[in-house]
Amino acid sequence: MKCAACHNEMVKKKGEIDLRIHGKLYLVRNVSYEECRVCGERVLSPEVSQDLYGKIERGEFVEETVRIPVLDGTYG
């Protein structure tokens, strides 16, 4: 599969990604995805994202408190 952003070949990976669905941030562990080695774009297969959306709809997730480093972008 080629990257939609820069058209380089993507590599299959398995691990942890973050997803923003309906404005809410979800952390997904042990998921298969493809990643672009050039620009870092990550893509889930349609089957995997459908499965994840289903799990969210059915509430099949655990709530954990995760500390995320937050940066404030400063220009000029």
Count of CB atoms within 10 A of residue 49's CB? Answer: 16
Q: How far apart are CB 42 and Zn ion at their closest, in Å?
A: 10
Q: Does residue 4 belong to the site contacting Zn ion (CB under 5 A)?
A: no
Among 9, 39, 54, 55, binds Zn ion (CB under 5 A): 39
1 near Zn ion (CB under 5 A): no
CA distance 25 to 10: 24
Q: Are 4 and 42 in contact (CB under 8 A)?
A: no
Does 33 sit near Zn ion (CB under 5 A)? no
Q: How many residues bind Zn ion (CB under 5 A)?
A: 7
